[in-house]
């Protein structure tokens, strides 16, 4: 389903490949993915596509939130699978040190702390904000880094030690070393995005450090070659998309 239109070339599929040999694929009913180098090749006689008019009202806002949440989960998944992390962490905030209910203050403090850790200790991280029942913010996510310190707390969970991260100066921590099915751990973390039906601290998640992006391959393929797929529609574009895994039985 390759399409050439003047200086434009597009494909209907995009495959993300990860270091462990696994891959994810997006397949659309129309060829919309352009290879690098073609994006700016619109000729002067070609009109750029005009977005469809957007609906207004609560229904439209709800759809926008759902799409944004779905995109954020997919991006977090790709970023986590493209990078090896050591710990699943929970970071809470000490009310004596910071107003845990002030999103702006929390994000500024997190940014300063993370920037220092990245520069001094090679921290790599993905953190998803969440609110306690009383509205106080905390974070769940992944961490790794050559200078990241983890101290055995003396507590075990599921027969494995729970660690504390003494370099977290804003409150309290728990950390568990990742083991077993890494994909399952990534999926568990993704579920925190939108869990409370909101974006608690400006962004769906925060990330930083020397993180790698997954390799991308542009392909033309049939919907039937996609396994374990989630189908969704983009009404304004009159298009359906499958997000899943590439079949291992392809020719």
Q: What are 122-177's pLDDT values in tens digits?
A: 999 999 999 998 999 999 999 999 999 999 999 999 999 999 999 999 999 999 99
pTM: 0.80
Angle at which helix 182-190 crosses helix 58-82, to 10 degrees, equals: 150
pLDDT tens digits, 43-80: 333 344 445 555 555 556 666 888 899 899 999 999 99
User: Which positions ≥6 away from 147 have C-beta within 8 Å?
Assistant: 117, 120, 121, 122, 123
The residues facing 164 across adjacent strands are: 151
Q: What percent of the chain has pLDDT over 70?
A: 75
Please compute the mean of the pLDDT values over residues 222-245 and round it to a whole number: 60
Amino acid 234: pLDDT: 56
> Cα–Cα distance between 216 and 16 in angstroms, integer?
5
122 φ/ψ angles, rounded to the nearest 5 degrees? 65, 30
pLDDT bucket at 25, cuts 50 / 70 / 90: confident
Task: Estimate to the nearest angstrom the gap between the alpha carbon of 100 and the chain centroid.
Answer: 24
């Amino acid at each position: 389903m390759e399409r050439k239109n003047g200086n434009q070339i597009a494909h209907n599929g995009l495959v993300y490949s990860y270091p462990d040999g696994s891959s994810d694929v997006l397949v659309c009913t129309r060829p919309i993915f352009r290879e690098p180098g073609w994006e700016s090749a619109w000729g002067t006689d070609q009109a750029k596509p005009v977005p469809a008019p957007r609906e207004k009202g609560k229904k439209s806002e709800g759809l926008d939130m759902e799409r944004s949440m779905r995109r954020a989960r997919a991006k977090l998944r790709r970023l986590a699978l493209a990078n090896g992390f050591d710990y699943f962490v929970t970071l809470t905030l000490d009310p004596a040190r910071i107003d845990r209910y002030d999103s702006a203050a929390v994000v500024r403090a997190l940014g300063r702390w993370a920037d220092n850790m990245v520069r001094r200790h090679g921290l790599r991280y993905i953190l998803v904000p969440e609110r306690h029942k009383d509205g106080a913010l905390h974070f769940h996510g992944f961490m790794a880094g050559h200078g990241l310190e983890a101290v055995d707390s003396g507590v075990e969970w599921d027969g494995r030690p729970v660690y504390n991260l003494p370099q977290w100066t804003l409150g309290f921590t728990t950390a568990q070393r990742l083991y077993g099915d890494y994909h399952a751990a990534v999926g568990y973390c993704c579920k925190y995005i939108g869990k409370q039906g909101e974006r608690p601290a400006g962004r769906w998640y925060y990330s930083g450090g020397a993180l790698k992006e997954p390799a991308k391959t542009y392909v033309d393929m049939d919907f039937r070659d996609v396994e374990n797929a989630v189908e969704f529609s983009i009404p304004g574009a009159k298009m359906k998309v499958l997000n899943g895994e590439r079949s291992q039985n392809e020719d």
